[in-house]
A and B are shown apart, each in its own frame.
Chain A
Amino acid sequence: MAVCTVYTTQSLHSTSSISTPSKTHLGFNQKKQILFYNSGKRVANRGITTVPWVIRCSGDTVVIGLAADSGCGKSTFMRRLTSVFGGAAEPPKGGNPDSNTLISDTTTVICLDDYHSLDRTGRKEKGVTALDPRANDFDLMYEQVKALKEGKAVDKPIYNHVTGLLDPPELTKPPKILVIEGLHPMFDQRVRDLLDFSIYLDISNEVKFAWKIQRDMAERGHSLESIKASIEARKPDFEAYIDPQKQYADAVIEVLPTRLIPGDNEGKILRVKLIMKEGVKYFSPVYLFDEGSTISWIPCGRKLTCSYPGIKFTYGPETYFGHEVSVLEMDGQFDRLDELIYVESHLSNLSSKFYGEVTQQMLKHSEFPGSNNGTGLFQTIVGLKIRDLYEQITASKAAAPLEATKA
């Protein structure tokens, strides 16, 4: 028996404060059919919609985990992902201005820093980093992610990145798609088992260093030495607790220095690998030309304008931590983003809804970092793959009770 919760939402006037949702629990008998009429009247006023109620059924939240180190482009990935589902992701309205949560119509992104058990001073006193499991409350993380997956709202703590303190909790409602992003989404086995799909952003040391220089050099107090020292100091914990999570990921995006220019360490031109696990339910890896073959492809020529150093794609089967994987690699960068359609037309299994969707998504966010290289391309592809996975899971759940009634 499925339990559904009806949240009645009052129309959102900018002046109204947070209204406590009145909950009604409905016990569904599987043989009965219940129709909900939803007079979702659209008001042509800056996109404000009045929906009288929201129906959430238990167990229909799809949970996605995204792991990466800080300053490695998680937020750009998140923006690309939410854009695939349509609608902009925004912080919860009227709550804590320093909340880390982002909410859109379909997705809610929560930052796992909110599950720090030690605040900034606490970590300093104990001499542990945020990367250390001892600084994180995995029991609470498990309980709350499990509750959200089952369709229950939770009071999630907020780690305030500005003050370094744990702020009072915020009410988080179960979304259609829950993304948990941070340092440890796949660290605890109980949390890992809740994930329907997992992604690891693997940035090589050279590129990490180059990116942090770009990010921090203008900052007061920072020097080349301080950036280097900070990376070096965090490295042992990173290698002990964060890096091993990549073996559990369904997709890994690896960012490496280019091989097209010998000795290039600037981190401007990148070689990006999309490592996709084989045999994952509802996820079929992308391929180039012919599935399972090993291919090297230089698309530059009459149909694609490339300046120095050009673009090179490679595709083929490999093993990764003992798993069979398909690896798609792009080295180099695009000069003209609209010509990406030429590359897109040679990739298969993209899970796009129409021809050119990948290119269109990339053009929509051409100002995001990584839009002219493999990071943006592969993040967009993973976004489409997650949409496909979500649709398949929802469809199979809708079919399951039907099968039961037939039997």
Chain B
Amino acid sequence: RHMVVASAAPEKIEDKVAESIKGAEEACSGDPVSGECVAAWDEVEELSATASHLRDKKKDSDPLETYCKDNPETAECRTYED
């Protein structure tokens, strides 16, 4: 079970976002201006921002660039400045 959690790390944050939204909606059902409600929505914002950062990071990464960082000596990665 622990293995699953480790390999599914990127999905985890999306689950957390969904979970935190549910939590915020519940926290605000009683009193919409309580500290509890406001803090819950702040958590949603923080998690959404983090999720979007992680998404961008994933999108930006070029498979060849990633490979070349670890294997600069291979034929497809060698670059000479002159």
Contact = CB atoms under 8 A, between A and B. Distances in A.
Interface of A: 14, 44-46, 70-71, 75, 120, 123-124, 126-131, 161-162, 164, 212, 215-216, 219-222, 226, 229-230, 233-234, 236-237
B46 A233 contact: no
Contacts, number: 103
B41 A233 contact: yes
A162 B13 contact: yes
| Binding site secondary structure of chain A | loop
Contacts of B15: 220
A160 B3 CA distance: 21
A111 to B, nearest CB: 11
Contacts of B13: 162
Nearest to A219: B17
A124 B40 contact: yes
B17 A44 contact: no
Interface string B30-73: 00001111111111111011111110000000000000101010
A75 B57 CA distance: 12
Interface residues of B, number: 39
19 contacts: A71-B45, A71-B52, A123-B42, A123-B43, A124-B36, A124-B39, A130-B42, A130-B46, A161-B50, A164-B43, A219-B51, A221-B18, A222-B48, A229-B24, A229-B25, A233-B37, A233-B38, A233-B41, A237-B38
Contacts of A44: 80-82
- Chain B contact residues: helix, strand, loop or mixed: helix
A233 B41 CA distance: 6
Interface string B6-33: 0000000111011101101100100000
Given A46-B68, A123-B43, A220-B18, 11 more contacts: A46-B77, A70-B45, A71-B48, A123-B39, A127-B34, A216-B52, A220-B17, A221-B17, A222-B21, A226-B24, A234-B45
